[in-house]
Amino acid sequence: MKRMVMSLVAAFVSGASAAAADREGRFALDGGGAAACAQFLQAREAKAAELSLFAGWIDGYLSAVNQMRPETYDITPWQTTDLLLVLVENYCRANPKEAFGLAVNRLGAALAKDRMTTQSPMMVAGHKGAVVSVYEEIIVRVHGALVERKHLPKEAEPKFTPEMRVALEKFQQERKIPVTGLPDQKTLFLLFLPDPKAAPPAGK
């Protein structure tokens, strides 16, 4: 796994987790969540049909977190399932005997600090025939990250404007990733990751 995931992995192993069901800190895992990380890794390496079970488990678990966690509208407001699978894979390689569900539980805890606490409208950002759908709140965060890196002036409008598109292109050129001018997965990961030297997520 690339260096770009290491700060989130550190949050994984910090011991943070969602609230458990009983006083002993125990809770039941059903379906794919009960499988060992090693089983998930085998399915991922073989690109087996079983992988869809694990991907669905992640989506279902995080949807439940959105419903049950206070002040949470979306705990993964910009991350795709593919990116989440990469993060869980890295953790599972270091902890192959741990239940897949516990790995996802740690992922949820690691992502919680960057969750979106209230609903935000979706918008479509397009350029040269390519489009991405993102929350307007994420565009506001992109604005802040670009301002912090001095790719945008502070007074720039926090919307997907031609000025923001040009700023994204400059950032993408700087980081040597595909220059799309869009807030795509690689760009968002590098914009929001604290480590400025992190590498982009391979293949995502």
* Rounded CA separation 156/149 (Å): 13
pLDDT(98) > 70: yes
* Rounded CA separation 148/154 (Å): 8
Average of per-residue pLDDT across 116-139: 96
User: What pLDDT was estimated at residue 201?
Assistant: 57
Residue 202 lies in a domain: no
> Is 103 found in the same domain as 81?
yes
> Is 82 found in the same domain as 39?
yes
Residue 37 lies in a domain: yes
Nearest to 8 by CA among 81, 87, 78: 87
> Is 156 found in the same domain as 90?
no
User: What pLDDT was estimated at residue 32?
Assistant: 79
Average of per-residue pLDDT across 91-104: 95
User: What pLDDT was estimated at residue 199?
Assistant: 57
pLDDT(124) > 80: yes
* Rounded CA separation 141/151 (Å): 14
> Is 182 found in the same domain as 138?
yes
* Rounded CA separation 114/138 (Å): 11
User: Which has more confidence, 152 or 24?
Assistant: 152
Count up the domains in the chain and report the number: 2
> Is 67 found in the same domain as 33?
yes
Residue 197 lies in a domain: no
Q: Which residues of 37-54 are buried (b: 16+ CB within 10 A; e: fewer)?
A: bebbbebbeeeeeebebb
> Is 60 found in the same domain as 129?
no
* Rounded CA separation 44/33 (Å): 15
pLDDT(105) > 70: yes
User: What pLDDT was estimated at residue 13?
Assistant: 39
Nearest to 87 by CA among 37, 52, 48, 128: 37
Count other Cβ atoms within 10 Å, centred on residue 168: 25
Phi, psi for residue 186 in degrees, rounded to 5: -60, -45
User: What pLDDT was estimated at residue 196?
Assistant: 53
Average of per-residue pLDDT across 21-44: 79
Chain mean pLDDT for the chain = 85
* Rounded CA separation 85/104 (Å): 9
CATH of the domain at 132: 1.10.101.10
pTM of this prediction exceeds 0.85: no
* Rounded CA separation 1/89 (Å): 8
Domain stops at, among 114, 147, 180: 114
Q: What is the pLDDT of residues 53-67, one digit of tens each?
A: 999 999 999 999 999
Domain with 13 in it: 3-114
Residue 29's pLDDT band (cuts 50, 70, 90):
low
> Is 143 found in the same domain as 104?
no
> Is 106 found in the same domain as 128?
no
Q: What is the pLDDT of residues 1-19, one digit of tens each?
A: 344 344 444 444 343 444 4
* Rounded CA separation 27/47 (Å): 29
User: What pLDDT was estimated at residue 21?
Assistant: 58
